[in-house]
Structure 1
């Protein structure tokens, strides 16, 4: 499935377990609890986070605001006043952790994570769109064409959205392509730029400063506050990069204001 441009597109709770990963709870300010599903970034960790988020969505508690998944954590935001039932309970954090602990301990079957199509993101590699492609190739001991081939080969997992609205952190990049960040970040990286930083690859969703090595750019918009779902991508999706030419880039790029 290709996504082409569209108009819409502090006490610490004891470790618990949601098999097979341990889960540790700790506060984040006075209105959030972090659930830490181990310390290893992996598909298994991601699945455990997604499974518990789905379980919480089926059994929300009064005062739950939102849940935010990350590489190894799920942050649960809540309204302390609603959790305390308008002041009847003095420690909303303790009440929330008790509710979460009970939910973690449930032996109900985990809901299957909904399958999703692999999203294809077109990328024009090298040249003005990927000024660091040659450096990445040199660092890896590969030709630029081999870098492109290795970068487009995997099916990536979107672990989380962060750094900037709509910015996807992807897992699954070929380890041979791991390249250090630039010693001096660029003051402005254009939206759509595809970069590498260490073992990670990602897509800049908005024009921001950044120090990732830029190897290409997609003409697709990843974030638009006017869309019903402002972020084109979401945690849990699968993604594949597709190499395109400069002519194809121009055809797919939305009209510029």
Structure 2
């Protein structure tokens, strides 16, 4: 039996990956796919990744008919896993050169071979993420202040609020790239106190970039909206280092 191995994060699975698996499977009788764990992806791509968690990525990979086995690994690279599996064929996409392929020398040392395949020109995880970001930059966003931009606390003395820097960095990144940013708050909605001037100064001191500050948000325990997106959702699509 000829065993074939390939690996990757496969965080945003696309047609290029499926083409890679199809061509890799054609080199042998069994295709094993190594996938970086969530821990490993964070070490490689930053704390905002992966976009899709390990269990999700593994489930999708297992559903692809060309793949016979999926193995999760925690290391930044698959070298140790390749040593354990000892595949007959090691396959990588055309964005790699032979000299870059981890484990290539080891596989060749016992008579195995390395194959580089042209998967799906013009499609990559980077390009998919870029398309998502370009779409986000064309949108208008409405961010709540307390709990999103600022820490929450007991009472209504908003002078106690502290900035959540990682969230502010994401908001500013969106705004600088063309997104419209509205800030929406219920400050003063229950007490009747006018916090508008203070809040404006607070946002300026914290360096929050926005287009409009709105104060008529009704006070409530829960808000239900059909266009809700969380900061965690946004964070996952941000380039490495944006939120730092």
Does the alignment reach a TM-score above 0.5? no
What is the TM-score with the length of structure 2 in the denominator?
0.27
Which is helix-richer, 1 or 2?
2
Structure number with greater Rg is 2
| Greater percentage in strand | 1
